[in-house]
Amino acid sequence: MEYSVLGKTNFWVSKLGLGGAPLGGDFGGTTDEEAFRVLDAALDLGINFIDTAPLYGAGESERRIGQGLKGKRDRVILATKAVVRGVPYTYDNTIKSVKESLKRLQTDYIDLIQLHELESVDYEAAMEGTVAAFLDLKREGIVRAIGVNAGKIELLLPFVRDGIVDTIQTFGRYTPMDYTAKAELLPLARAKNIGVIHGSPLGMGLLTDRPAPFLAKYPDILEEAANRKQQLEFLHRGEPNGLVEPAMRFSLTCPDIAVTLTGTTSVQSLTRNASYCDGIGLTPEDEARVLSLFPGKKLL
């Protein structure tokens, strides 16, 4: 397992982190026992960064992680988010959300609290409500670091520029078919020493043979993804889902990404993804070719 420092948090984190959405059943039914097996396997593999949210499984992901980490809490950097989609991002709602997360996670502190889905709130409201609450919680020692989360890069940039947050999290923005984070977001975060967490390194499943079901509503995205996959055929490994390994290695070896998240309820899948976290990326020739194909061309 490779490790890095998560920006100015100074947290020493595994470059591969465990994403909590599948543990809440968001991608298909799962049981407590399956979740506990994955959590135990993650620790055995050297994964020490776990990222979840109250949204995942309507709290089930947090509950299972809290239960599964009993007696092992000090072995992980535990990250969650606030608030739940549809709830206003006010100061009071944020405090309430964090307190409820603490109960489900069975802990008295959270290492990293993140504003979930910047798409749901404008910058000023976020700063006056959720971020203000985060800062007070940090002063009280209830949270150790604060961050923001968004799929849209342009929503993250103001928070990076003002330097008030410790981390940012985006998803699907540093993959072989969409590396739009490379142009501005990653260099700016590096300059501000803000830790970067990257989710969905397989582009919501577009780099596998099983795209996320919700993408069926976007035939134009599926068509463009198929076109880009064809252009990436030179990376393809012989086995089914042959773009998974190069895509994982592409994100895992990016020097500006501290943590790449993998979400799964399969110990086998988790073990396979962990095997790619060995510091070996694409060949320089292949990486240069990838970066010449779609510069600045957003997919999702």
pLDDT tens for 262-287 read 999 899 999 999 999 999 999 999 99
- 229: CB partners within 8 A, 6+ apart: 177, 206, 207, 243
Where helices occur in 77-218 by DSSP H, the ranges are 91-105, 123-126, 132-140, 153-162, 185-192
Of 6-15, 57-66, 232-241, minimum mean pLDDT range: 232-241
pLDDT at 300: 83
pLDDT tens per residue, range 175-203: 999 999 999 999 999 999 999 999 999 99
DSSP state of 28: B
Mean pLDDT of the chain: 95
- Tell whether the model's pLDDT for residue 41 goes beyond 90: yes
pLDDT at 131: 97
C-alpha distance from residue 204 to each of 4, 25, 209 (Å):
25, 16, 11
* Catalytic residue list contains 56: yes
Q: Hey, is 9 helix, strand or coil?
A: helix
pLDDT tens per residue, range 101-148: 999 999 999 999 999 999 999 999 999 999 999 999 999 999 999 999
- Helix/strand/coil percentages in the chain, nearest 5: 45, 15, 35
Angle between helices 91-105 and 60-68 in degrees, nearest 10: 40
pLDDT tens per residue, range 236-251: 887 777 899 999 999 9
Cα–Cα distance, 108 to 245 (Å, whole number): 37
Examine residue 83 and say whether the peptide bond preceding it is cis (omega within 30 degrees of 0).
Answer: yes
Contact 130, 118 (CB under 8 A): no
Of 10-14, 124-128, 197-201, 205-209, minimum mean pLDDT range: 205-209
pLDDT at 209: 82
Active-site position among 56, 89, 174, 179: 56
Confidence grade of residue 26 (pLDDT, cut at 50, 70, 90):
confident
% of the chain exceeding 70 in pLDDT? 100
pTM for this entry:
0.95
pLDDT at 27: 72
Complete domains list, the chain, with CATH: 3-293 (3.20.20.100)
Confidence grade of residue 212 (pLDDT, cut at 50, 70, 90):
confident
Q: Which residues pair with 13 in a beta bridge?
A: 4
